[in-house]
Amino acid sequence: MNSIFLRSANATERDLTTGKFKWYFNPPLQFQRKEGKTLHIGVSRFSYTNYFNNIVTSTNDTIYYSDDTGDETKYSIVFPQGSYDVDSFNSYIQNELTANGHSGLFSMLPDYSTNKMYVLWGPTLTGWFITLTTASPYVVLGFNLTAGKDYIPTGKSNVVNELIYADDEAAFNSVTSIGLKMNLGAAIVTDGAFNNLMTVSVPDVGIGYIMNDEPMHISFADCSDLQGVPLSYLTVDVVNQSDAALTLSEDIVVKLAVKYE
């Protein structure tokens, strides 16, 4: 069994923001014709870094808070795009509250026994509330929106040292699975033979953790159309669990296994 290594850092066309890569081969790859044998190709290893942005600019980057029921967005905390865990998320909140002159007003903390986030209001100020909108990281925090908004607390007036829990478990690990879509010469491989050639589940591990997935049983695709035909390029699209383009922060490595049977 032979192997082909694809490193996105060496791709001819490389776009981490859309997870799209293209390699040109010069000279073209040539797969032999073997009497009575069919060419099969599959992914035998996929290496990536668990570093996916769970806060995205202009998408879910803003939390509002106020002490005026007539102005729900009086103050705001805007998060830079990035990959946050529960500690770095709350640390940024504290820095911004201090910068706004509201040090210790509230914290957003995890309850590890339930995997839910909760809001803890500070010991000095009352009459404040948080507003989450569709532009807020409410899914990451586990809060549900009602009519496009959610107020914490619901009555828009906090109680000193009050704890308010999210509706659902936190979802800081926003990417739960990754799929690889491939094309070995668009006019050659038909019927989506390389769509979702490999899908891996992303475990809830620390940010920056390098994953090396090697399936016990490789899913091989019939690539008989490639036998005896020069292959000048190969593309890889990386998608998430919703089949949407996945933004990557680090390069990937894909190892293809080639066999005849």
pLDDT higher than threshold 90 for residue 3:
yes
Note the pLDDT tens digit of each residue in 8-65: 999 999 999 899 999 999 998 888 889 899 998 888 888 988 777 889 899 999 999 9
Q: Quick one: pLDDT band at residue 227, thresholds 50, 70, 90?
A: confident
pLDDT at 193: 38
Find all residues with CB under 8 Å of 71, minimum gap 6, and list them: none
Q: Considering only CA atoms, which of 88, 84, 19, 26 is closest in space to residue 54?
A: 84
Find all residues with CB under 8 Å of 26, minimum gap 6, and list them: 232
**If you compute the radius of gyration of the chain from its CA atoms, what whole number of angstroms results?**
24
Q: Considering only CA atoms, which of 154, 55, 174, 171 is closest in space to residue 116?
A: 171
Domains, the chain, ordered by start: 2-52+175-260 (2.60.120.1100), 62-165 (no CATH)
Residue 31's DSSP bridge partners are 227
Note the pLDDT tens digit of each residue in 150-168: 999 999 999 999 999 999 9
Q: How far apart are CA 181 and CA 6, in angstroms?
A: 14
